[in-house]
């Protein structure tokens, strides 16, 4: 599509800023509408077919955030991208805007080439979404079933991911040209030098990187972009950074920065984790002792309680999203990947994707979520119950022999998990009962995170494993923790 096919609304109470920006956009052949306040902006949005809005945050009367909130009641981030503009560069302003559904932000005074690149990036994402939506409508008209389940990595039967990763365009250090794909030495946003790839997933690739100003090692997660990238993908990526910023707990991964480069590349900067995932430990060990399970479940529940206290639901708890971080000879459990998280009262982050698929990994989803019923933090506890079951015996409670995720969904909703007492030597009836309480089909009868920790501690009993004093730290370190001396730095993608 040509620039002239797009209509952009510029909303700013400053006449000079408004007119200057609109003229520059018109010179790029965009159709531009202007509004001097929130009321005028909403009136134009109600009668005009807009493709993108540039919205000032600080305006007299109705603020930009209030306008955004009203817009999102009828137009999703996929349908109407909104770029917030503000003279305030504080992270909380950005978080507030992203929470309300903003697609991106720019700080005043506006750097027009950078803003233009961000506009073009949003419109590029809008084009494939419109094509995808048209295809979905055509499928619906033929009776195609869109009520499927979104399979995350590790769902259903294990399979090797051989799909070729899309290529990214990143900023080149002190050069105006771009490079195809991240390479060692590439500078991102003039701050982070990418050193090596350490992980990847459906939505992003994670790199070990160096913060140039602080000479600090960090993990940088870059959104995978391609012609198939949608606004929904970008919204999930933004939500991951926003969600993790809200959960301030030592057992939750720390997000240090979030941004979009001048070339439209979205990235998250996180603490660099060293170690391996819980999924790796289960795969290597087969099953874990009840005391080892307690080592992991207790800090996970602590992080989960903090998330729930700020109204955040994780929605995709599984062993791959629990990281066993090793720091100075000590293990610190970290909950990672808040990309599917939602705030309890956030109607914009639904249980379903735009294609009608359930968000999450079927093997770990609570019955109420699979049935698309209302849910709260107890749905995360059910996922913990599935994890605990898997940790104790080496496999999830419900598996489909045919690999069909719908079969797994029906088992979650209707079948009771097989008792582990008597089947696994270390699992007593007391421990088995705690697992069953976490896996209650009725969320009203399910344990809360703190209750799960308390009941499991009572059921497991005193920890008689040998402990020794760490000569370099005033802490106690368990001698039988399965540390791997050759682990590499990694952060869950």
Mean pLDDT of 83-94: 69
Band (79; pLDDT cuts 50, 70, 90):
confident
- Higher pLDDT: 149 or 239? It is 239
Q: Report the pLDDT value the prediction gives residue 77, as an integer from 0 to 100.
A: 83
Q: Report the pLDDT value the prediction gives residue 341, as an integer from 0 to 100.
A: 53
Q: Which of 36-50, 294-308, 374-388, 475-489 has the lowest mean pLDDT?
A: 475-489
Burial of 415 (0-12, 13-18, 19+ CB in 10 A): exposed
* Homologous superfamily of domain range 169-271: Phosphorylase Kinase; domain 1 (3.30.200.20)
Report which listed range, 60-74, 255-269, 334-348, is most confident.
60-74
Give the residue among 93, 108, 113 at the shortest CA–CA distance from 14: 108
Q: Which of 104-113, 229-238, 244-253, 271-280 has the lowest mean pLDDT?
A: 229-238
Q: Report the pLDDT value the prediction gives residue 40, as an integer from 0 to 100.
A: 92
Q: Report the pLDDT value the prediction gives residue 391, as an integer from 0 to 100.
A: 98
Please state, as a whole number, how many other Cβ atoms lie within 10 Å of the Cβ of residue 78: 20
Q: Which of 148-152, 338-342, 357-361, 379-383 has the lowest mean pLDDT?
A: 148-152
Please state, as a whole number, how many other Cβ atoms lie within 10 Å of the Cβ of residue 175: 9
Question: What are the tokens at 80?
Answer: 């109407």
Phi and psi torsions of 252, nearest 5°: -120, 140
Q: Is the pLDDT of residue 361 over 80?
A: yes
Q: How many CA atoms lie within 13 A of 40 on its CB side?
A: 14
Mean pLDDT of 231-235: 63
Place of tokens 């997933």: 201
Q: Please list, in sequence order, all residues whose beta carbon lies within 8 angstroms of the beta carbon of residue 81, skipping any fewer than 6 positions away.
A: 51, 52, 53, 103, 104, 122, 123, 125, 126, 231
- Higher pLDDT: 428 or 263? It is 428
Give the residue among 345, 336, 257 at the shortest CA–CA distance from 308: 345
Q: How far apart are CA 419 and CA 124, in angstroms?
A: 52
Q: How far apart are CA 168 and CA 266, in angstroms?
A: 10
Give the residue among 486, 475, 154, 493 at the shortest CA–CA distance from 332: 475
Q: Where are the alpha helices (DSSP H) in 90-230?
A: 91-99, 112-141
Question: What are the tokens at 451?
Answer: 């209750």
- Contact between residue 189 and residue 207 where contact means Cβ atoms under 8 Å apart: no
- The domain locations on the chain are 3-122, 169-271, 275-478
Which of 316, 337, 380, 432 is catalytic? The answer is 316
Please state, as a whole number, how many other Cβ atoms lie within 10 Å of the Cβ of residue 272: 19
Band (107; pLDDT cuts 50, 70, 90):
confident
Q: How far apart are CA 443 and CA 445, in angstroms?
A: 5
Give the residue among 14, 77, 9, 94 at the shortest CA–CA distance from 45: 9
Q: Report the pLDDT value the prediction gives residue 170, as an integer from 0 to 100.
A: 34
Q: Report the pLDDT value the prediction gives residue 183, as an integer from 0 to 100.
A: 61
Q: How far apart are CA 429 and CA 308, in angstroms?
A: 30
- Higher pLDDT: 106 or 458? It is 458
Helix, strand, coil shares, percent, the chain, to 5: 35, 20, 45
Burial of 17 (0-12, 13-18, 19+ CB in 10 A): middle
For domain 275-478, which CATH number applies: 3.40.50.300, 3.40.50.720, 1.10.3720.10, 1.10.510.10? 1.10.510.10
Q: How far apart are CA 459 and CA 452, in angstroms?
A: 10
Question: What are the tokens at 353?
Answer: 């994707």
- Higher pLDDT: 421 or 75? It is 421
- Higher pLDDT: 347 or 91? It is 91
Q: Percent of the chain, pLDDT > 90? A: 46
Question: CA 13 from chain center: how many Å?
Answer: 34
Task: Determine the angle formed by the axes of helices 449-460 and 290-309, rounding to 10 degrees.
Answer: 160
- Contact between residue 117 and residue 264 where contact means Cβ atoms under 8 Å apart: yes
pLDDT tens-place string over residues 266-325: 788 999 999 999 999 999 999 999 999 999 999 999 999 999 998 888 889 999 999 999
Q: How far apart are CA 119 and CA 408, in angstroms?
A: 42
Q: Please list, in sequence order, all residues whose beta carbon lies within 8 angstroms of the beta carbon of residue 369, skipping any fewer than 6 positions away.
A: 315, 351, 358, 360, 375, 379
Residue 468, strand partner residues: 477
Average pLDDT, the chain: 78
Please state, as a whole number, how many other Cβ atoms lie within 10 Å of the Cβ of residue 313: 25
Q: How far apart are CA 54 and CA 388, in angstroms?
A: 47
Band (127; pLDDT cuts 50, 70, 90):
low
For domain 3-122, which CATH number applies: 3.10.20.310, 3.40.50.300, 3.40.50.2300, 3.30.70.1250? 3.40.50.2300
428-438 burial, b if ≥16 CB within 10 A, otherwise e? beebbebbbbb
Phi and psi torsions of 266, nearest 5°: -90, 140
Q: Report the pLDDT value the prediction gives residue 164, as an integer from 0 to 100.
A: 37
Positive or negative, the Cα torsion across 417, 419, 425, 431? positive
Compute and round to an integer the Cα radius of gyration of the chain: 24
Helix (H) or strand (E) holding 240: helix 231-246
Q: Report the pLDDT value the prediction gives residue 289, as an integer from 0 to 100.
A: 96
Phi and psi torsions of 473, nearest 5°: -140, 150
pLDDT tens-place string over residues 183-199: 667 888 889 999 999 88
- Higher pLDDT: 171 or 55? It is 55
Band (9; pLDDT cuts 50, 70, 90):
very high
Residue 426 annotated in active site:
no
Q: Which of 38-42, 203-207, 460-464 has the lowest mean pLDDT?
A: 203-207
Q: Which of 81-90, 148-157, 220-229 has the lowest mean pLDDT?
A: 148-157
Mean pLDDT of 226-238: 59
Please state, as a whole number, how many other Cβ atoms lie within 10 Å of the Cβ of residue 209: 27
Question: CA 67 from chain center: how many Å?
Answer: 26
């Amino acid at each position: 599509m040509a620039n002239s096919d797009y209509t952009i609304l510029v909303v700013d109470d400053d006449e000079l800023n408004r007119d200057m920006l609109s003229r520059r956009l018109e010179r790029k052949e965009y159709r531009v509408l202007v509004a001097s306040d929130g009321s005028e902006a909403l009136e134009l949005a109600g009668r005009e077919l807009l493709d993108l809005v540039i919205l000032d945050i600080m305006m007299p009367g109705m603020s930009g955030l209030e306008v955004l909130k009203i817009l999102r009641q009828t137009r999703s981030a996929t349908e109407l991208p909104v770029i917030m503009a503000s003279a305030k560069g504080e992270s909380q302003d950005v978080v507030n805007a992203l929470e309300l559904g903003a697609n991106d932000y720019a700080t005043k005074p506006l750097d027009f080439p950078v803003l233009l690149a961000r506009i073009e990036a949003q419109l590029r994402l809008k084009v494939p979404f419109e094509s995808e939506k048209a295809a979905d409508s055509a499928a619906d008209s033929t009776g195609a079933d869109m009520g499927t389940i979104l399979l995350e990595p590790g769902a259903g039967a294990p399979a090797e991911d051989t799909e070729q990763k899309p290529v990214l365009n990143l900023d080149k250090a002190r050069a105006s040209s771009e490079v195809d794909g991240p390479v060692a030495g590439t500078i991102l946003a003039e701050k982070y030098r990418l050193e090596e790839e350490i992980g990847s997933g459906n939505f992003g690739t994670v790199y070990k990187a160096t913060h140039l100003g602080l000479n600090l090692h960090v993990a940088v997660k870059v959104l995978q972009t391609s012609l198939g990238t949608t606004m929904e993908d970008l919204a999930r990526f933004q939500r991951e950074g926003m969600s993790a910023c809200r959960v301030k707990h030592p057992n939750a991964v720390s997000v240090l920065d979030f941004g979009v480069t001048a070339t439209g590349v979205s990235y998250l900067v996180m603490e660099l984790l060293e170690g391996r995932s819980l999924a790796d430990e289960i795969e290597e060990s087969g099953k874990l002792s009840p005391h080892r399970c307690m080592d992991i479940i207790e800090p996970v529940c602590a992080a989960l309680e903090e998330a729930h206290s700020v109204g955040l639901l994780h929605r995709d708890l599984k062993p791959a999203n629990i990281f066993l971080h090793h720091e100075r000879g000590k293990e610190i459990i970290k909950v990672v990947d808040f990309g599917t998280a939602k705030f309890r009262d956030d109607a914009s982050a639904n249980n379903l994707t735009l294609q009608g698929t359930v968000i999450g990994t079927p093997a770990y989803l609570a019955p109420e979520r699979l049935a698309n019923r209302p849910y709260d933090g107890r749905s995360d506890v059910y996922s913990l119950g599935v994890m605990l079951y898997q940790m104790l015996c080496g496999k999830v409670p419900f598996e489909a022999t045919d690999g069909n995720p719908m079969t797994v969904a029906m088992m979650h909703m209707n079948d009771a998990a097989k008792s582990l007492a008597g089947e696994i030597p270390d699992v007593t009836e007391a421990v088995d009962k705690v697992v069953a309480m976490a896996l209650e089909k009725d969320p009203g009868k399910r344990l809360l995170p703190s209750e799960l920790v308390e009941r499991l501690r009572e059921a497991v009993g005193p920890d008689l494993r040998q402990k020794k004093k760490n000569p370099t730290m005033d802490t106690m370190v368990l001698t039988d923790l399965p540390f791997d001396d050759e682990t590499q730095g990694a952060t869950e993608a």
